[in-house]
Amino acid sequence: DAGVTQSPTHLIKTRGQQVTLRCSPKSGHDTVSWYQQALGQGPQFIFQYYEEEERQRGNFPDRFSGHQFPNYSSELNVNALLLGDSALYLCASSRDAEQFFGPGTRLTVL
């Protein structure tokens, strides 16, 4: 049984560009949450998707958007990238309160 998978593993972009990150949840999980983890900090909640709708959103600008597909997989889109968007982006899937994380996508913005 595969756990949470994310792609790509690493990504390098320049300021102003747009990026799409992908996540496949653990089998049996219907909820996907996205977190941003800057170096030396704990993860910060971006938003959560359930039943293809954004159920809750953290304190992130509208440049951050997402989508959930009927098979529960999800995408995170970031527009107009800033240097400060460089971070590890984590996807977590859940069926109840426990959230299980993927390996993350390391985004570097130059």
Partner 1 sequence: TQLLEQSPQFLSIQEGENLTVYCNSSSVFSSLQWYRQEPGEGPVLLVTVVTGGEVKKLKRLTFQFGDARKDSSLHITAAQPGDTGLYLCAGAASNDYKLSFGAGTTVTVRA
Task: Kindly list the residues in this chain that would bind partner 1 in the complex (CB under 8 A).
Answer: 4, 6, 31, 33, 35, 40-45, 48, 50, 55-56, 58, 88, 90, 92, 97-104, 106
**Distance (Å, rounded) from C-alpha 102 to C-alpha 105?**
9
Contact present, 46 and 58 (Cβ < 8 Å)? yes
Type of residue numbered 60: F
Q: Which CB atom, from 18 or from 102, has the smaller least distance to partner 1?
A: 102
62 versus 96: smaller Cβ distance to partner 1: 96
* Nearest alpha carbon to residue 27 among 104, 100, 107, 105: 100
Q: How far is the CB of 108 from partner 1 (least distance, A)?
A: 13
CA distance 58 to 72: 20
- Rank residues 81 and 92 by Cβ distance to partner 1 and give the closer one: 92
Task: Give which of 80, 85, 77 is closest to 21, Cα–Cα.
Answer: 77
State the nearest-atom distance from the C-beta of 8 to partner 1, in Å.
Answer: 14
State in angstroms the smallest separation of the CB of 102 from partner 1. 5
